[in-house]
Homo-oligomer: A and B are copies of this chain.
Amino acid sequence: MTFHKAKKAVIIAEKILTPKILDIIESSGARGYTVVPAGGKGAHHQHYTSERASVVDDFSTVRIEVIVKNKSIAEEIGSKIVEECFNKYSGIVYLEDVEVIRAEKFNGE
């Protein structure tokens, strides 16, 4: 099988923001995403999770990842999420290069 270059955007955010983030992802044309429960500490505002002791067991944060064919779409998703979600709430977005099988399952036209 052939592997094709694609771009992954990862969003770490408070769980309460999930519906808004998924709206942005879906309206970008991305065809799938993965959500994982998380805890942790952010750079600003309050910690993601209120106390250090609860970081491991209190999953009030989500880690969302989405893969798209084109870098520009990944950047657009990332920029919109930062603009619309991370003024009031702590969170980060980062991009990574990946290789996928079955490129037709990812958008990017």
A residues sitting closer than 8 Å to B (CB atoms) are 1, 3, 6, 8, 10, 12, 15, 18-19, 22, 31-44, 48, 52, 55-56, 59, 61-63, 67, 75, 78-79, 82-83, 92-102, 105-106
14 examples of A-B residue contacts, CB within 8 angstroms: A1-B78, A15-B56, A32-B43, A32-B92, A34-B40, A35-B38, A36-B36, A36-B37, A36-B39, A56-B62, A82-B101, A92-B105, A94-B99, A96-B99
Q: Is the CB of A35 within 8 A of B55?
A: yes
- A95 in contact with B102 given A38-B35, A38-B36, A39-B35 (CB within 8 Å): no
Of B12, B33, B93, B96, the contact of A34 (CB 8 Å cutoff)? B12
